[in-house]
């Protein structure tokens, strides 16, 4: 979480242009933002980056650093927004991550007379550099300061009148973009991609000294190192003014997933499937929506008689004794930067397991640290709520399932059904349902087998952007306690598939008997449904058809409740802290 950028130019660079670059990282955090320059200027704002634009006139600078924040230490306020400065207001830093030993460092610095203005862990970095800068040049001072930090960090530091950026990364990503007489550095390539196609990905403990036409990298542990320049040619998606929010744009473009996911990846799918076939133990590792997609993978493998286990990435270390050299870890992540996932795969790697990943962001840490990866190829996803990437993950597992089963499949058919689900009349129908649900305090969602995955994912979508409490259960589990919460008019969304239809319907009747309102998401109607969301029929692919109306429902609920679905409170798209 948090996004950072830096620019060093031979000529002055417009601050407004730098902020546009920062804006491309807004999905990483959007509670406050700020920038600092080598001319000694600094500006901050609470809220989105838009508010910062208002503070800039036609200002330019040779060296600029900027930050968009997702608060960890210290509330959301201007004083806690980055950049943070030293006592003299000459050294500025931006930081993504957490400094675990900040209290200890703060005491060390206070004893030496440093004065702190914020409640953040990050501010100690600026003062540490200041402290070492008393007897060392800026570069040396940065290195000394960086070597005292514990935790996870991507840091950029600048000093008034000094025309370089000094940075470091450990467990938080940093990538350099090489331009002509200007170099860029940022949390991910997405910020830089409009300016260059040449990138250098920094490794853990790499310290970078960035000038307008030179790049020096030293590793804190290994000394001088050379990192390769990689050419990355990713298409930039233009803004689409037909949509009010990224989320609905991303929902509406889901049919396109089927054009690329397999075509661009055929060979990789075969290799991936082969590894699954030949693995003794398989664990899925993921978080949030990607975890739900992993549960789908787990159900599909079970159908094939292949034993696997999904483990929440943040819980993985508790299972590490089950992992060994014969284990295949399937890591699933849209961003490829989720700290819990990276932590889990590193544990597994230390036990000599093989890491195969399914990831959307090219160049991400997960992609780079995996033994093998499958790219989802569905373009950048900017909405905090995963939509098209979740569908792509489901599709990837569906394809793997078909390959492992040696069964023909037609993605063209899936594409047509998804297009149908995205039609106007369907959306209008869901709009009416959102009118009914918008006033509710609680929504329950049930399904069995793969339909349980839809219940889980739909509940997460509803919670994260509409803030209505939504809870998913395997349909048969409701009667073991939670049924006590069902009373008159409590809504229960029921997901049906052919295989589990009869048992799930019995559970729906149990809810109805207690006064609950039943919303069926199903290819077939039943008298128990008060409302029927008709979806195309399918076998294993049915989860895709179940989830799309739910994504639309969550979106419409958010709009009706006055929430911005792209920027839900307290959240960020990419969770880079543990």
Which residues are marked as active site?
2, 573
Taking CB under 6 A as the rule, does residue 338 contact ligand M6R? yes
Which residue from 64, 113, 62 is spatially nearest to 87, judged by alpha carbons? 113
254 binding ligand M6R? (CB under 6 A): no
Would you count residue 335 as binding ligand M6R (CB under 6 A)?
Answer: yes
Q: How far apart are CA 72 and CA 76, in angstroms?
A: 9
**Stretch near ligand M6R under the rule CB under 6 A, chosen from 151-159, 273-281, 287-295, 544-552:** 287-295
Per CB under 6 A, does 25 bind ligand M6R?
no
Which one among 8, 18, 248, 341 touches ligand M6R, defined by CB under 6 A?
341
In the complex with ligand M6R, which residue's Cβ is closer, 521 or 572?
572
User: Which residue number places its CB atom closest to ligand M6R?
Assistant: 288
Q: How far apart are CA 101 and CA 115, in angstroms?
A: 18
**Size of the chain, expressed as the number of residues it contains:** 578
Which secondary structure element, helix H or strand E, spans residue 465, and what is its range?
A: helix 450-466
Q: Give the count of residues interacting with ligand M6R (CB under 6 A).
A: 16
Q: Does 288 bind ligand M6R (CB under 6 A)?
A: yes
Number of neighbours of residue 392 by Cβ within 10 angstroms: 29
Q: How far is the CB of 490 from ligand M6R (least distance, A)?
A: 24
| Residue 335 C-beta: closest distance to ligand M6R, Å | 3
Which one, 471 or 537, has the nearer CB to ligand M6R?
A: 471
**Residue 504 in contact with ligand M6R, rule: CB under 6 A:** no
Give the nearer residue to ligand M6R in terms of CB position, either 338 or 504.
338
Sheet of 531-534, strands arranged across? 469-474, 442-447, 491-495, 517-522, 531-534
Nearer to ligand M6R, 91 or 460 (CB): 460
Strand order in the sheet with 91-99: 84-85, 91-99, 151-159, 165-170, 206-210, 215-219, 223-224
Q: Which of 97, 122, 92, 79 is nearest to 29 (CA)?
A: 97
Cβ partners under 8 Å of residue 333, min gap 6:
286, 287, 290, 341, 357, 358, 359, 360, 364, 366
Query: Which residue lies nearer to ligand M6R by CB, 294 or 500?
Result: 294
Q: Is the dihedral of CA 500, 503, 505, 507 positive or negative?
A: negative
By CB under 6 A, is residue 385 in contact with ligand M6R? yes
Report 545-574 residues binding ligand M6R (CB under 6 A).
574
* 3-state SS class at 189: helix
Comparing CB distances to ligand M6R, the nearer of 333 and 391 is 333
In the region spanning residues 171 to 190, those forming contacts with ligand M6R, defined by CB under 6 A, are none
**Whether the Cβ atoms of residue 333 and residue 344 lie closer than 8 Å to each other:** no
Task: Choose between 292 and 427: whose C-beta lies nearer to ligand M6R.
Answer: 292
Cβ-based neighbours of 556, under 8 Å, separated by 6 or more: 430, 431, 434
Q: How far apart are CA 565 and CA 386, in angstroms?
A: 11
* 575 binds ligand M6R per the rule CB under 6 A: yes
Residue 333 binding ligand M6R, by CB under 6 A? yes
- Binding to ligand M6R (CB under 6 A) within 453-482 occurs at 460, 464
Site membership for ligand M6R, residue 328 (CB under 6 A): no
- Which range in 81-89, 145-153, 186-194, 288-296 contacts ligand M6R by CB under 6 A? 288-296
**Between 450-466 and 288-303, two packed helices, what is the crossing angle to 10 degrees?**
170
The 8-class DSSP code of residue 303 comes to H
Q: Which is nearer to ligand M6R, 185 or 293 (CB)?
A: 293
> Which of the stretches 93-101, 215-223, 384-392, 514-522 binds ligand M6R when contact is defined by CB under 6 A?
384-392
How far CA 244 is from CA of 25, 247, 553, 561, 571, in Å, comes to: 19, 9, 16, 15, 20
Using CA atoms, how far apart are residues 158 and 90, in angstroms rounded to an integer? Answer: 8
Quick check: 395 binds ligand M6R (CB under 6 A)?
Answer: no
Q: Are 445 and 493 contacting, i.e. CB atoms less than 8 angstroms apart?
A: yes
* Least Å from the CB of residue 68 to ligand M6R: 17
Task: Enter the tokens of residue 440.
Answer: 């509710």
Q: Is 358 in the site for ligand M6R (CB under 6 A)?
A: no
Q: Pick between residue 288 and residue 520 the one whose CB is nearest to ligand M6R.
A: 288
Query: What number of helices (H) and strands (E) belong to the chain?
Result: 18, 25
Q: Does 287 contact ligand M6R by CB under 6 A?
A: yes
CB of 568 to ligand M6R, least distance (A): 8
Using CB under 6 A, which of the segments 43-51, 61-69, 119-127, 379-387 binds ligand M6R?
A: 379-387
Which one among 22, 257, 384, 404 touches ligand M6R, defined by CB under 6 A?
384
Rounded to the nearest whole angstrom, what is the least distance from the CB of residue 313 to ligand M6R in the complex? Answer: 8
Asked if 238 contacts 212 with a C-beta cutoff of 8 angstroms, the reply is: no
Among the residue ranges 272-280, 333-341, 426-434, 435-443, the one whose residues contact ligand M6R (CB under 6 A): 333-341
CB of 283 to ligand M6R, least distance (A): 16
The interaxial angle of helices 388-405 and 411-421, nearest 10 deg, is 150
**β-sheet bridge partners, residue 282:** 328
**Dihedral, 492, 498, 500, 501 alpha carbons, nearest 10:** 50
Nearer to ligand M6R, 131 or 464 (CB): 464
Binding site for ligand M6R (CB under 6 A): 287-290, 333-335, 338, 341, 384-386, 460, 464, 574-575
């Amino acid at each position: 979480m948090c996004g950072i950028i830096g620019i060093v130019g031979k000529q002055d660079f417009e601050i407004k242009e730098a902020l546009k670059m920062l804006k491309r990282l807004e999905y990483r955090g959007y509670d406050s933002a700020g920038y600092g320059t080598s001319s000694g200027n600094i500006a901050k704002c609470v809220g989105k980056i838009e508010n910062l634009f208002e503070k800039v006139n036609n200002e330019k600078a040779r060296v600029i650093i900027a930050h968009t924040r997702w608060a960890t230490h210290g509330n959301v306020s201007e004083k806690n927004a980055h950049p943070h400065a030293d006592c003299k207001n000459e050294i500025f830093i931006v930081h993504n991550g957490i400094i675990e030993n900040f209290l200890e460092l703060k005491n060390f610095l206070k004893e030496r007379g440093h004065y702190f203005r914020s409640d953040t862990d990050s501010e100690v970095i600026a003062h540490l550099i200041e402290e070492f800068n008393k007897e060392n040049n800026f570069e040396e001072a940065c290195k000394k300061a960086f070597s005292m930090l514990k935790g996870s960090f991507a840091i950029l530091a600048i000093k008034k009148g000094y025309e370089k950026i000094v940075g470091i990364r450990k467990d938080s990503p940093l990538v350099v973009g090489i331009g002509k007489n200007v170099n860029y550095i940022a949390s991910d390539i997405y910020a830089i991609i409009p300016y260059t196609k040449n990138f250098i990905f920094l490794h853990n403990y790499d310290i970078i000294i960035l000038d307008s036409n030179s790049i020096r990298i030293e590793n804190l542990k290994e000394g001088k190192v050379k990192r390769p320049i990689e050419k990355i040619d990713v298409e930039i998606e233009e803004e689409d003014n037909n949509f009010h929010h990224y989320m609905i744009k991303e929902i509406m473009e889901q049919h396109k997933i089927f054009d690329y996911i397999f075509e661009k990846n055929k060979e990789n799918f075969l290799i991936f499937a082969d590894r699954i076939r030949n693995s003794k133990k398989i664990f899925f590792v993921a978080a949030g929506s990607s975890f739900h997609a992993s549960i789908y993978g787990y159900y599909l493998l079970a159908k094939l008689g292949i034993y696997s286990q999904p483990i929440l990435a943040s819980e993985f270390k508790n299972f590490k004794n089950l992992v060994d050299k014969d284990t295949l870890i399937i890591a699933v992540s849209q961003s490829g930067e989720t700290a819990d996932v990276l932590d889990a795969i590193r544990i597994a790697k230390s036990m000599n397991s093989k890491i195969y990943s399914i990831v959307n962001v090219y160049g991400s840490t997960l992609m780079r640290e995996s033994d093998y990866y499958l790219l989802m190829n569905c373009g950048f996803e900017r909405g905090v709520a995963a939509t098209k990437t979740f569908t792509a993950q489901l599709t990837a597992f569906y394809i793997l399932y078909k390959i492992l089963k040696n069964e023909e499949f037609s993605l063209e058919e899936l594409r047509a059904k998804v297009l149908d689900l995205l039609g106007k009349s369907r959306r209008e129908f869901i709009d009416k349902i959102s009118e009914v649900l918008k006033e509710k305090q609680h929504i329950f969602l049930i399904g069995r087998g793969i339909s349980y995955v839809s219940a889980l994912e739909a509940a997460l979508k509803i919670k994260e952007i509409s803030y209505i409490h939504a809870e998913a259960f395997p349909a048969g589990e409701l009667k073991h306690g939670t049924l006590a919460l069902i009373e008159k008019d409590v809504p229960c969304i029921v997901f049906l598939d052919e295989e589990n239809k009869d048992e799930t319907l019995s559970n729906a009747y149990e809810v109805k008997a207690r006064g609950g309102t039943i919303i069926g998401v199903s290819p077939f109607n039943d008298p128990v449904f008060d409302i029927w969301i008709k979806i195309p029929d399918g076998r294993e692919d049915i989860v895709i058809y179940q989830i799309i109306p739910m994504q639309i429902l969550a979106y419409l609920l958010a709009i009706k409740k006055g929430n911005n679905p792209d920027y839900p409170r307290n959240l960020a798209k990419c969770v880079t802290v543990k």
